[in-house]
């Protein structure tokens, strides 16, 4: 099965729409949280995700924050401004959809999905081999897919050497998965690796392969929406730089 793996859309509907077109027909879509926050089109993003067939979706820290389940002081000023705005504009139906999302999910006994990490699904960032190693004890499936860092990455457990290594990600390269792996598809709506193109991944659950992908989208359109909504200018600027 061809599975589209997306994360950290952050209310960037333009990027999401472009990713869905670029991915083409898929059997399932797995969304790793942070549908909202930062961006200008939270309702359109949540509605698009709600309508996606064969969807598995989990909660991110920004989603939890707009539900009022996390103190918004935990976020920096510009992120908080956007969260308060999102909470105000999000429809009741879209709020209910977010409220019903789980924090982690195990899919077919093969993949664990968590926004941050299996150990701390809402907050922990898996950015290095140490945090990846510590998290291996917190999921039982061969693979774990996470988001949250907004950086495409792959951490591989090496049984013989008893250590985790970080495997460099090359866009468009199809990687055959084996052993235990933690993978991050990157961020659809706010990449932070200085490449402004929207990031996502294709996972083939029969061939056990992973392909990191990037696609350029209409940045100016999103920046226009951010300014129209009166959201912090920083959110518009960072999209162009990928930070």
Taking CB under 5 A as the criterion, the residue among 3, 6, 8, 223 binding Zn ion is 8
Residue nearest Zn ion (C-beta atom): 34
Binding mask 34-73 for Zn ion (x = CB under 5 A): x---------------------------------------
Q: Give the pairing type, strands 143-146 and 111-114.
A: parallel
In the bound state with Zn ion, the residue whose beta carbon lies nearer, of 63 and 211, is 63
In the bound state with Zn ion, the residue whose beta carbon lies nearer, of 8 and 41, is 8
Report how far residue 7's alpha carbon sits from residue 10's, in angstroms, rounded to the nearest whole number: 9
The three-state (H, E, C) secondary structure of 87-145, written as one string: HHHCCHHHHHHHHCCCCEEEECCCEEEECCCCCCCCCCCCCCHHHHHHHHHHCCCCEEE
Binding mask 10-39 for Zn ion (x = CB under 5 A): ------------------------x-----
Is the CB of residue 8 less than 8 Å from the CB of residue 187? yes
Is the CB of residue 186 less than 8 Å from the CB of residue 200? yes
In the bound state with Zn ion, the residue whose beta carbon lies nearer, of 62 and 180, is 62
Is the CB of residue 5 less than 8 Å from the CB of residue 203? yes
> In whole angstroms, how close is the CB of 207 to Zn ion at the nearest point?
29
124 binds Zn ion per the rule CB under 5 A = no
Alpha-carbon distances, residue 167 vs 111, 182, 183, 204, 212 (angstroms): 19, 10, 10, 19, 12
In the bound state with Zn ion, the residue whose beta carbon lies nearer, of 34 and 41, is 34
> In whole angstroms, how close is the CB of 38 to Zn ion at the nearest point?
8
193 binds Zn ion per the rule CB under 5 A = no
- Using CB under 5 A, list all residues that contact Zn ion: 8, 34
């Amino acid at each position: 099965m061809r599975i589209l793996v997306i994360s950290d859309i952050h209310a960037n509907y333009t990027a999401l729409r472009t990713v869905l077109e670029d991915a083409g027909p898929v059997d399932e879509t797995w969304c790793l949280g942070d549908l909202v926050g930062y961006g200008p089109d939270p309702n359109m993003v949540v509605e698009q995700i709600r309508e996606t067939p064969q969807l598995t979706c989990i909660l991110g820290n920004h989603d939890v924050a707009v539900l009022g389940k996390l103190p918004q002081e935990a976020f920096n000023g510009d992120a908080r401004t956007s969260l308060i705005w999102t909470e105000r504009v999000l429809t009741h139906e879209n709020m209910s959809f977010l409220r019903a999302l789980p924090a982690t999910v195990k899919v077919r006994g093969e993949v664990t999905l968590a926004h941050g990490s299996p150990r701390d699904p809402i907050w922990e960032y898996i950015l290095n081999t140490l945090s990846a190693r510590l998290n291996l004890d917190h999921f039982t499936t061969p693979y774990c897919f996470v988001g949250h860092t907004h950086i495409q990455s792959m951490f591989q457990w090496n049984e013989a050497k008893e250590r985790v290594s970080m495997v460099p990600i090359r866009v468009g390269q199809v990687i055959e998965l084996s052993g235990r792996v933690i993978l991050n598809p990157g961020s659809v709506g706010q990449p932070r690796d200085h490449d402004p193109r929207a990031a996502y991944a294709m996972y083939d659950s029969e061939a056990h392969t992973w392909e990191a992908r990037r696609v350029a989208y209409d940045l100016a359109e999103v920046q226009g929406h951010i300014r129209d909504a009166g959201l912090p200018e920083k959110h518009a600027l960072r999209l162009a730089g990928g930070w």
